[in-house]
A and B are shown apart, each in its own frame.
Chain A
Amino acid sequence: MDRRRFLGALATAGAGTLAGCRRSGGPPLPPGELRGTALEVGHLLRDARLAEAVETRKVAVLIVGAGVGGLSAAWKLARSGFSDFLIVDLEDEAGGNSRAGRNAVSAYPWGAHYLPLPTREATAVRELLAELGVLEGDPRAARPVYDERYLCATPQERLYLNGRWQEGLLPQAGVDRAAREQIRRFAELVDDFRHRRDASGRRAFALPMDLSSRDAALLALDRVSMRDWLLSLGLDLPQLHWYVNHACRDDYGADSATVSAWAGIHYFACRDGEAANAAGETVLTAPEGNAWLVRGMLESIRARAGDRLLTGALAHRVLAGETRSSAHPVAVDLWLPTERRTLRVLTAQLIWAAPVFLVPRIFAGRADLQAAARGFTYAPWLIANLTLSRLPVDRAGAPPAWDNVLHDSAGLGYVIATHQAMRLRSTDSVWTWYRALDSVSPQEGRAVLRDTPREVWAEEILADLERPHPDIRQVTTRLDVYRNGHAMVRPLPGLIWGDARQRLAGEGGDVLFAHADLSGFSLFEEAQYRGVLAAERTLRRLGVRHPTSLR
């Protein structure tokens, strides 16, 4: 346990006592609710025996999971003129990690909140953006024009360090000539990886990652941690390590000592998308985070294939090859909590677009899949949305940005939902505050999530934000907290280019897997790629002619 981890653990432990000893006289904590993924229903999988099915339905393709992966599979099926499918999800709303909330002030994200400008090889992402009208003109152009309402407004990010806000996230304080040299070397390394291609023309680090080079020298980077890789090159600058560590926590929910160097480098080197009307590092975003992409896919699916979504349905058992119907060899039992009964769906093709950690409990009798699934670990996350009656006082330095990061914080900072709004003065706003529980093991993190009341989180979040915004308690009218115990897969060394992931990603036949987990990290582009890939394999198996979206 190094010092940082120790402090993180201490903060977690300390949070429990804070609520009790808060000095009286300050403003009371703002109201709000504590939400979470459908915990109670989900835990049925672990704890209960569910009733046998009384009703049976047949469908050619069943998609389990209505997150970005499942919706992308359905989107591709519907675009290919195929409509004999059903998408099910245990939550009462589609979207997975890209869901959003809305109140009188603004829409706001409950998870993923941006999409980088798509790379050349992210052809399916470009196809979707073109359909939604956000990418204008030829979707395959090197530098397409994007709808400026979705291009993140300037300033994009700032960092609170030593009592001041600075522009950008790389800490500027104390960067001398030797430090600049290290930063330059790191930038050169990243730049080299960004442009490197192997003998067969594949990028060293592509997005989707499936299109990356398989050169042994590159894959070897998946066997060391990001931190150790930097140190092995003599890169030991604390500011650089802070920056890289922040990127790992922000994108993978785990620190740079925990994630693989391949994944860490991928974050920096894979994004080379360009726009005719924005700089390359600009991201696409909206007040509701990535929920606009989900809404766009849902509308596209509904327009082409009708209502194909069944929410509030828990897939709790998959029986492959055991049904008597040869046309529909896979049986999936769905528990409908509101009706308190089980529905059995017989299908020709199952697309499993729910997280892989559920596989061991659900795929009875498939020891091979169960073993592979056990190699996946997940980061627990905490997300809070703060509704503000007016903008709080701000410490000196750079003006408010879309992404506002605090240097010495267990949290990852906050995103301003109203940043993209076409309005001059921000009177009220919604801020989304993020924290990956990366200072303890995922199991411990989930226990903390399960046991900590909202008031303790609210106190911790307000204390965190109070440093740059002394009157945050006076202006916060509501503070809702969302717990996500298995928010994202963690790309630990060996996961990405190890056997377990490749085993599930390569699974064929009547059960296909389609989830960002199959790529080893939780990115929109990866989830969509896995979904579209599964849909195209399905269409091929069923003999439906279709153009590919993946080349």
Chain B
Amino acid sequence: MKHALLFSVFVVASCGLAYELIAGALASYLLGDSVTQFSTVIGAYLFAMGIGSWLSRYVESRLVERFIQVELLVGVLGGFSAAGLFFLFTWSSAPFRVALYLAVCAIGVLVGLEIPLIMRILRQDLVFKDLVSQVLTFDYLGALAVSILFPVLLVPHLGLMRSALLFGLLNVAVALWAWWLFRAQLARGGLLRVQGLIALFALLGAFAAAGVLTSLAEVHLYTDEIVHAETSPYQRIVVTRWKDDLRLHLNNNLQFSSRDEYRYHEALVHPGLSALPRARRVLVLGGGDGLALREILKYPQVDSVVLVDLDPAMTRLFATAPPLRRLNGDALRSPRVTVVNDDALQWLERNDELFDFVVVDFPDPSNFAIGKLYSSAFYRLLEKHLAGDALAVIQSTSPLYARQAFWCIVTTIESVGLIATPYHALVPSFGEWGFVLAGRRPYHPPQAFAVDTRFLTAETAEAMFDFPKDMTRVEAEVNRLNNQVLVRYFEQEWRQVIR
């Protein structure tokens, strides 16, 4: 009996520390600023434990029964703490902080009750000096075990949600064990056993379903209705709808909103293509949504468009889903369009076809893999595919939010001997956005746009080539494969924006 209770001190102490660590880690993970989160979580938790210890004096009789109840409560509250808080956060971050500290305090109070209760139960078996020495020894040992296991095994292998559920199970197991040991002395043993089993199965079920729970939580990250969600080998594709607004997210980054994507795609295509009245062969790199294609196909002189997009899931989705087909005017099924699902870099290396107009619509240079697509080596490769007076247009992130990154792209294009003509347009979903035209001859904006547009006019287009004071050229290095400066500029600058 004595040894069993001392062992349960060990388990209880490890669970106690685990909930504290889980709450701290979850708060740092979701809210950032880990020093503040850990300090305030640990402070609140220890204070609540003090309250629990103080409250223990009011527990006067039926100590074992109270202990079992406390254990069950801690197990359920602590066990579901990570999952519950995570769901709450995906729903709204404002009540999250309140709920976080409420949960921390509640668990803290209950954990604070545990040790005083155990000490009083053990009082009959031990003299005071042995009692204090042994109980506290096991208390601290439990804390040590968890503090080592938590970063080394639990977080990497189980994750926060499953770790919390695991410790919840341990608390419930201690409760059930105590029930078994003291079953002869308990007045309402039957009820306790039922409660214990319910808690046990609830936690076990949640543990088994933790994978599903995680993706459920993700769904709630999007406030809008999810029309389509799939994970291709390359990315997570999510399409949402709110009223008439369709939005595409790739890996949780917004790619377009149907409310204003025409601004982006008109600005991407027409300044270049309208200046090339004899353009017949067009290449689109990226742009599997078919929206740039829609703009290109407005030009009757364009005979053929090759679209190279890595992800077949993207081009399939935008060629089959009716609302998306309506959005891109069924461009991906046009007889003038050839869709190639291939790595753009490798496709350019293998082919020697020439094009009159090339649209380079890659994701922003947020990592080294994509950074290659903005390097001098890439532009040198691109240049080999430009016919005599051809133009290429390159989406170039925001000259306002990522000013040095934008001008780095301009500098890099110039470094391979091409003439770069930068311009910008306002796309409300993204903000002020930048593009660069590249060609062998100086570029002159067209006198008029030959095709139907919703946003561009020849008069307003002139202003696009003007850079206001907060977007004018800044010094930037050439982005090379062997320095990848663009990714660093881009990271630094966007970090300033998203705070």
Q: Contact residues of A with B, CB < 8 Å? A: 148-149, 151-156, 163, 277-279, 282, 399, 422-427
Contacts and interface: CB of A to CB of B under 8 A. Distances in A.
B346 A278 contact: no
B331 interface: no
B480 A424 contact: no
B482 A151 contact: yes
Q: Is the interface of A mostly helix, strand, loop or mixed?
A: loop
Contacts of A427: 233
A425 B343 contact: yes
B343 A279 contact: no
Contact of B367 (A279, A399, A422, A423): A399
Given A163-B156, A422-B377, A152 B368 contact: no
B310 A425 contact: yes
A155 B370 contact: no
B482 A148 contact: yes
Contacts of B368: 154-155, 399
Contacts of A278: 480, 482-483
A167 to B, nearest CB: 11
Given A424-B344, A425-B310, A279 B482 contact: yes
Given A154-B482, A423-B346, 12 more contacts: A148-B376, A154-B368, A154-B481, A155-B368, A155-B484, A278-B483, A422-B378, A422-B381, A423-B345, A424-B343, A424-B369, A424-B373
8 contacts: A148-B481, A148-B482, A154-B484, A279-B483, A422-B345, A422-B372, A422-B378, A424-B345
The 3 closest A-B pairs by CB, nearest first: A154-B484, A153-B481, A151-B482
A398 to B, nearest CB: 10
Nearest to A277: B480
Nearest to B156: A163
Interface residues of B, number: 26
A153 B234 contact: no
Interface string B405-443: 000000000000000000000000000000000000000
Interface in B133-178: 152, 156
Contacts of A151: 480-482
Contacts of A399: 367-368
A427 B156 CA distance: 25
Interface in B356-389: 367-370, 372-373, 376-378, 381
B349 interface: yes
A154 B156 CA distance: 28
A276 B190 CA distance: 82
Contacts of A154: 368, 481-484
B488 to A, nearest CB: 9
A425 B482 contact: no
A400 to B, nearest CB: 8
Interface of B: 152, 156, 233-234, 310, 343-346, 349, 367-370, 372-373, 376-378, 381, 478, 480-484
A427 B343 CA distance: 10
B309 to A, nearest CB: 11
Residue among B156, B343, B373 with the highest chain A CB neighbour number at 10 A: B343
A423 B484 contact: no
Contacts of A426: 369
Contact of B370 (A152, A163, A279, A424): A424
B343 A149 contact: no
Given A148-B377, A154-B368, A163-B156, A423 B481 contact: no
A152 B376 CA distance: 14
A425 B483 contact: no
Contact of B343 (A148, A152, A423): A423
B481 to A, nearest CB: 4
Which of A156, A279, A424, A427 counts the most B-chain CB atoms under 10 A from its CB? Answer: A424
Contacts of A422: 345-346, 349, 372, 377-378, 381
Nearest to B369: A424
A427 B310 CA distance: 12
A450 to B, nearest CB: 39
B355 to A, nearest CB: 19
Nearest to B483: A154
B482 A152 contact: yes
Given A148-B377, A149-B377, A163-B156, A425 B369 contact: yes
A426 B367 CA distance: 14
A425 B344 CA distance: 10
A107 to B, nearest CB: 15
Nearest to A150: B482
Nearest to B376: A148
A9 B85 CA distance: 50
A443 B318 CA distance: 64
Contacts of A148: 376-377, 480-482
Nearest to A146: B482
Contacts of A153: 372, 481-482, 484
A151 B373 CA distance: 16
Contacts of B152: 163
Nearest to B372: A424
B412 to A, nearest CB: 12
B439 to A, nearest CB: 22
B333 to A, nearest CB: 26
A117 to B, nearest CB: 11
A274 to B, nearest CB: 13
A120 B322 CA distance: 65
A422 B345 CA distance: 6
Contacts of A155: 368, 484
A176 to B, nearest CB: 19
A278 B310 CA distance: 30
Most buried by A among B367, B378, B482: B482
Contacts of B483: 154, 278-279
Nearest to B368: A399
Contacts of A282: 482
Contacts of B370: 424
Contacts of B346: 422-424
A155 B152 CA distance: 27
A422 B377 CA distance: 9
B312 to A, nearest CB: 13
Nearest to B367: A399
B347 to A, nearest CB: 10
**Best-buried of B370, B378, B483, B484 by chain A (most CB within 10 Å):** B483
A294 B378 CA distance: 27
Contacts of B480: 148, 151, 277-278
Nearest to B415: A277
Interface-central residue, B152, B344, B372, B481, by most chain A CB under 10 Å: B481
A148 B367 CA distance: 20
A282 B484 CA distance: 13
A477 to B, nearest CB: 17
A161 to B, nearest CB: 14
Contacts of B156: 163
A151 B310 CA distance: 26
A426 B368 CA distance: 12
Nearest to B380: A148
A279 B484 CA distance: 12
B208 to A, nearest CB: 22
A163 B156 CA distance: 10
A424 B362 CA distance: 11
A424 B310 contact: yes
B149 to A, nearest CB: 13
A424 B378 CA distance: 11
A280 B343 CA distance: 31
Contacts of A152: 482
A155 B484 CA distance: 8
B52 to A, nearest CB: 35
